Every structure is written in structure tokens, then in C-alpha cells.
Amino acid sequence: MSGLTERVHTIVDALAGDAVGDDERLGGLARLLAQARGEVDLEFGVAGNEGPLARMRREWSEFRARALGELEARCWVGDGRLRTRVGWTGDLQLVLGPGVGADERASHVRSLRAEFERQARRLEVLTAVAVAARRIAGLLAGPGAAMVSALPVAFACVREAHARGEGGGVPWE
Amino acid sequence: MGAGAGVIGSDRRVSRARQSIDIARGSGAGGAGVRRLRGEGEGEGEAPEIVVEEAEASEDGVPGFVAKLHATISRALDDLGSLEVSTYVATDMHAVFVEEGRVIGASLRAYTRVALEGDTIACVPEQDGEVDRGLLEIHGELVKQAQAARCELIRVIVEAAARLGRGG
């Protein structure tokens, strides 16, 4: 089991067992879950800003819209005299310009390695969201309106798991 | 140039990933369906037509998302049959572009294709009986990188398929 998935399961376990303790961020996720269940009123931000659940739904919607497409898209790594077009299954098209030195080549190979790692991580993130969403759906078990919140809440759990493992940042990058 | 040692034997893992995906599809992918009774809360006097909407058809639902992820993984498995690395040289990088997957404005100078079972085809042109050592070096390094990445991707896909198949 990857570290990310393990951390996501730990977070969902805590939410399922109502064992968030005084962890502020887990508390935020528990409130999100309660809102999705319809147990508490939706919180609205100041001056009509969206509340946490609405914000998470929007952020998930934006993420989902690009995530699967970006996963498969070919991208260029490098610019200038040394570029490689990378397919997500590993196919490569390298274009070498004039006068490229050994250091530049070595640096380019490192950039490619980083891109491959990023691509593998993207699939892990999407899988973690899907697996967590199934568990969250089990916790919501209610009317349809609540069920469609399983993915946004799962996404929030994966982001939190990523932040706990990596010390912040966004899992997609 | 590497002969695909990391890729040999991966076909068994790919086959296992396919089986996991088939199992997941057959099991209904989690079954967390969204059901809504159409007619509730709609105009008074209308016949309460009861329609149950399954989330399987909805992108908002978990099964819809899992199905999309399955489809993406299946396409990746289809692409894993061979690995291709092409190295081009260009005198004017500004003139290089891609059209229908082909690099235009640059000359193909080295090509390697590694089949899943490890068979490898490598083409490197020589000039006046000599091969461009520098070009060959980076091409070989890229083939190694691509093979390592392919192995890692297969590992991630197998894990993903297994998790999606068993629900965690």
C-alpha cells in the first residue's frame, strides 16, 4: 500500500470512528462530512461567500475536469535546445538542438525522471480519491444529495493526507 | 543500449491488472448509487413519476468516476504493448512542431522499440561509418529512463487496479 493511501485510510478511519480528538484539521474534515450528511447546517462564509462544502465541491469539480485528461496528455519537458515529448506510458520523442553539452543532457534526464514520477503520482492520487470515496460513501449512506458529496469529501481527505506526508503543497503537482 | 530487461516478464503483471479491472467492472464498482425520486418537491398536481437514477450514469457519483478511471487504466494497458523512444536532431528548434503525433522540422537519428516481452529494435544511422556518440549516449539514457518509468507505471497500475477491484 502506498504511503498516501495508507494515510488516507488512517484519516477516514478517524472520521468513521469519530476519533478526531483535538486535531483541528481532522475536525474540519469531520465537519465537512457532517455537512454532507445533512447533520449540521451548511456554513456560509462572510458576505455570501461559499461555505466549506460548497467550496470543496467546486474545487473537486475543477480538479476532476482536468485530472483525467492531464493524466493521459503528452507533454513537453525542457525548452530551448533540448526537449522531450513525454507520453504517460513512457514513450519519448527527444529533439536535440545544436551544441548541447553533457551537463545540459544530464539535467534534462533528471527533469524527465521528475516528470515520470509526477505522472505515476497523479494516478496514485486519483486512485486514492476513488478508494476513499467508496469508504466515504459508506459513511454518508443517505439521500442522493449527500451521496454526490462523497468524492469532494474524499478529495479533501486525500489533500490532507498529502499535506501530512509531504508537509504541504498540492498532490497533483 | 538496454535490451528491456526491466520490461521482460511485465506482461504477467499487466494481465493481472486487466483481471482486476474486469473484476471491478463486474462488481458494479462500489455500488454507492445515487437514487432520487423524481416528482418529490416538483409542481403540485403532477403525477409523481418515480424515477430512480443510478449514479453509475452520473459523473458526480463515485461509480461514474471509478468507471472513468478504469477506462483510463485500460487504455494505458493497451498502450503498454511496446515502448518507443525516438531521438531527433534539429538545426532550428523554432521550426520544430508536432503534427498528428509526428515530430516535424527535425530529423530522426535514433529509434528504439522495446516490446513487452523484451524484444528490442534499435536503429541508429551512421555517418561516414561513424555513429554520433553523444547522440547515442543520450538516446540510450532515455531508453533506460523510459524502461524504468514503464516498470514503475506498471507497478502503479497493478496496485491501482487491485485497489479499485477490492475497494481499498
C-alpha to C-alpha distance for A129 and A134, rounded to whole angstroms: 9
Low-confidence ranges of chain A (pLDDT < 70): 1-2, 40-50, 142-147, 167-170, 172-173
Least confident of A17-31, B45-59, B154-168: B45-59
- What is the pLDDT at residue B70? 87
Q: How far is A30 from chain B (nearest CA, A)?
A: 20
- Interface confidence (ipTM) of the complex: 0.81
Q: Please report the pLDDT score of residue B51 as a whole number.
A: 33
Question: Chain A: residue nearest B135 by CA?
Answer: A96
Inspect the interface and report whether the beta carbons of A89 and B76 lie closer than 8 Å. yes
Question: pLDDT of A161-171, one tens digit each?
Answer: 999 887 666 67
- Provide mean pLDDT across the span B43-67: 55
Residue A158 CB: number of other CB atoms within 10 A?
27
- For chain B, the domains span 10-166
B166 CB within 8 Å of a chain A CB? no
Q: Dihedral sign for Cα B43, B49, B54, B58, please.
A: negative
Q: Strand runs (DSSP E) across chain B, as ranges?
A: 82-89, 97-99, 102-104, 107-115, 120-123
Q: CB of B29 within 8 A of CB of B70?
A: yes
Quick one: how far is CA B59 from the chain centroid?
Answer: 21
Q: What is the pLDDT of residue B58?
A: 57
Quickly count: other Cβ atoms within 10 Å of residue A155's Cβ.
Answer: 25
Contact A110, B148 (CB under 8 A): no
B32 neighbourhood in chain A, CB within 8 Å: 133-134, 137-138, 147, 150
Instruction: State pLDDT tens for residues B9-29.
Output: 456 666 666 665 555 554 433
| Domain coordinates in residue numbering, chain A | 3-166
DSSP labels for A22-68?
T-HHHHHHHHHHHHHHTSSPPP--GGG---HHHHHHHHHHHHHHHHH
Q: Do B85 and A91 touch (CB under 8 A)?
A: yes
Q: Are B75 and A72 inside 8 Å of each other by CB?
A: yes
- Interior CA angle at A63 toward A78 and A50, to 5°? 135
Query: pTM here?
Result: 0.76
Query: From A150, which residue of chain B is nearest by alpha-carbon distance?
Result: B62
**Per-residue pLDDT averaged across B34-61, rounded?**
42
* Higher-confidence position of B42 and A140: A140
- pLDDT of res. A5: 87
> Measured between alpha carbons, how far is A154 from A132 in angstroms, rounded to an integer?
5
Q: What is the pLDDT of residue A140?
A: 87
Quick one: pLDDT at residue B52?
A: 34
CB contact under 8 A, A88 and B76: yes
The set of cell numbers assigned to A113 is 525522471
pLDDT value of residue A173: 65
Tens digits of per-residue pLDDT, B141-158? Answer: 999 999 998 998 888 888
C-alpha cell at A17: 470512528
**Helix, strand, coil abundance in chain A, percent, nearest 5:** 65, 10, 30
**Segment (H or E) for A109:** helix A102-140
- The strand pairing partners of B127, in sequence order, are B130
pLDDT in tens, B27-36: 433 333 333 3
| Residue A23 CB contacts under 8 Å (≥ 6 apart), including other chains | A14
CB contact under 8 A, B168 and A134: yes
**pLDDT (mean) for B58-85:** 85
